[in-house]
Structure 1
Amino acid sequence: MLCLTIALLTAAVTDVGSASAHRNALWQVVQTCALAAAHLGSAFPCEEVILPRQGVPGSALIKSPRYRTEFLLTPLTAVAGLESPSVRWQGSSQLWNRAWKARSKVSASLGRHLPRTAIAMAVNSRTERSQDQFHIHIDCVAVSVEKKLVLKGPKVEGPWQLLPLALMGKRYWIKAVDKPDLETTNVVGIIASGLPQARGAMHHVNVVVVGAELAGARPGFYILTNWESSAAERLLDHDCTSR
């Protein structure tokens, strides 16, 4: 059973679009972790499991066996992806906030502290993902992306705008969030309600949330989204180069 679980976990975090990845592998790992947490008090093979309670979703944090610093955060319930209405529920903000808290594990895996602007979370669209269980990738953001956001990202919270610079060759809509955490920020709901063109194509939507420093050195976030044929995960740097 242990060998099977490790094999499934490895398959679940293979490269986006890999034909070898079993599209339900991640969900099978999540179920294993949830059972272990509920009956044995252990999160293994996950890093951490938070069991659900009234009004608060459960989640599992998984260390990627493929990349040194990457972690995945996924709910304990079966949720396919960004096109699922449940990810627009206000309670889903807890999932994003837990993913953001996992940035400390990214720093620990690298062996040194990373500033908030160096960390990003990404969710790939249905057409670009390899797994059909909603999951948030947590890792370093590419240095070129970080520099462009520092240079051209909005410094105050406001309406959606098209970022003037391309990121990894693709254009993104961007919105600043003037909050130090994501505890009350419904990321996908903000996209669906604020960008009608995205709401009509949620199965194509890619989402990236990057830590930001706003005006007055206030800690905040940038929410980035597009619906092009390019995975959100491309904005991450799984090698954490130049850090």
Structure 2
Amino acid sequence: MSLKQALWLSLACLATVFIARRTFASDPSRGALWRVVETCVAAKRALNVSLPCVQVNLGQHGSPGTVVLRPPWKETHTLVVPTTRLVGIEAPALQQPEAAAYWQAALAARRFVVEAAKGRVHVEDVALAVNSRGSRTQDQLHIHADCARPEVLAALRLHDAELGSAWKPLEFLESLGFPHDNQRFFGIKIAADEIGTSNIFERLTDLPGSRRDLSRVGVAVFSAPPNGSRQDFYVVAAPGRDSQAEDLLDHSCVLARGVAADDSPANVQR
């Protein structure tokens, strides 16, 4: 590459970063995130760079594409977003088998949270979440990845033996009192050999009450305790018009600071 070409590439990348960050940070509309995704995809196709995203996978051989990005001024908070226009958790296309690829991409993206935390957390400490329509701010499907709330992770692992393949109420999470006292939770456990092919969006249709309107459901995924080479996962569903599964994540990442669970923000009155 010549010096002129390198300079042009650098200027183009800087311009792309500037435009995308201004859009994501200042655009109050519910389409701002999608415009950032479009910018990242365009940069990947034209310049073979992922900026301003962390990673861009354009997809191939029938596998859908995704981008990984971080909201401005967030240390560990990471988003995994499809490169296809999907409004949110209720999108009918997410009931198709290929939608499992979005969860695979999100599980793989946990390493970016670990890297942002400078290795002070394990990948098993990172959780994933998708909010309901009533609690999200953007109308483009995005999976949040960040440190798990220590008390949520501890409670799930304490009750590991109670979780199986069928949805059951999680009163022990409800007793923690967030995001609000009347929020209900249901949980299942997915085996390590199933997580790569399991479409969690489709599993939500089996929630008690025959829930078909998934716009009123939030969902989060946590790692079970490692068992040798085996790694199972907990899936926690939070039904409700304004359910915000993201509240089960800890964007301050107290786990990376070695703060005890009793001192975490979830235990402070608010």
TM above 0.5, one fold?
A: yes
Aligned to 1:176: 189
State the Cα deviation string for residues 98-143 of structure 1 (Å, max 9, x = none): 1111111111111125234421100001111000000000000111
- Deviation sequence 1:181-238 (CA, Å, 0-9, x none): 732110111111x226363221111010111127778311111102223311111100
Report if the CA contact (8 A) 2:218-2:245 is conserved.
Answer: yes
Structure 1 residues 7 and 182: CA distance shift in structure 2, 3 A: farther
1:232 aligns with 2:245: yes
Give the TM-score, by structure 2 length.
0.80
Q: What's the offset of the Cα at 1:80? A: 0.2
Contact conserved, 2:184 with 2:239, CA < 8 A, in 1?
Answer: no
- SS at 1:197 equivalent: coil
How many residues are treated as equivalent by the alignment? 234
What is the TM-score of this pair, normalised by structure 1? 0.88
The answer to whether the 8 A contact 2:216-2:243 is kept is no
Secondary structure of the structure 2 residue equivalent to 1:127: coil
- Could you say which residue in structure 2 is the equivalent of 1:15? none
Q: CA deviation at 1:62?
A: 0.5
Shift, 1:97, TM fit: 1.0
Q: After TM superposition, list the pairs within 5 Å mapping 1:91-130 onto structure 2.
A: 91-130=98-137
Q: Structure 1 23/198 Cα, relative in aligned 2: closer, same or farther at 3 Å?
A: farther
1:9: which partner in 2? 24
Is the Cα contact below 8 Å between 1:80 and 1:134 reproduced in 2? yes
- Structure 2 match to 1:203: 215
- Aligned partner of 2:148 among 141, 146, 155: 141
**In 1, distance between residues paired with 2:255 and 2:238?**
27
1:213 counterpart SS class: coil
Paired with 2:235 and 2:84, the residues of 1 have a C-alpha distance of: 24
What are structure 1's unaligned runs of at least 5 residues? 12-19
CA distance in 2, matches of 1:161, 1:98: 27
- CA–CA distance in 2 between the matches of 1:22 and 1:202? 22
- Unaligned stretches of 5+ in structure 2? 1-14, 257-270
Q: Distance in 2 between matches of 1:135 and 1:128?
A: 13
Q: Secondary structure at the match of 2:231?
A: strand
90-99 vs 178-187, greater mean Cα deviation: 178-187
Query: Would the aligned equivalents of 2:185 and 2:236 in 1 still touch at CA under 8 Å?
Result: yes
Report the CA distance shift for 1:182/1:113 in structure 2 as closer, same or farther (over 3 A).
Answer: farther
Correspondence for 1:16: none
Q: Give, in whole Å, the separation in 2 of the partners of 1:115 and 1:95.
A: 21
Is 1:160 aligned to residue 167 of structure 2?
Answer: yes
1:6 partner amino acid = R
Structure 1 residue ranges, 4+ long, deviating more than 6 angstroms after superposition: 214-217
Worse-matched range after superposition: 181-190 or 213-222: 213-222
Deviates more, 1:121-130 or 1:95-104: 95-104
- More strand, by proportion: 1
Residue 64 of structure 1 deviates from its aligned partner by 2.2
Deviation, 1:153, is 3.4
Q: Are residues 46 and 53 of structure 1, via their aligned partners in 2, closer, same or farther at CA, if it must alter by over 3 Å?
A: same
- Counterpart residue identity of residue 217, structure 2: V
Max radius of gyration: which structure? 2
Query: Alpha-carbon deviations, 1:56-93, whole Å to 9, x = none?
Result: 00111112223210110011010000110111211111
What is the rounded CA distance, in whole Å, between the counterparts of 1:156 and 1:217 in structure 2?
20
Which position in structure 1 is the counterpart of 2:8?
A: none
> Could you tell me how far apart the structure 1 residues matched to 2:194 and 2:56 are?
20
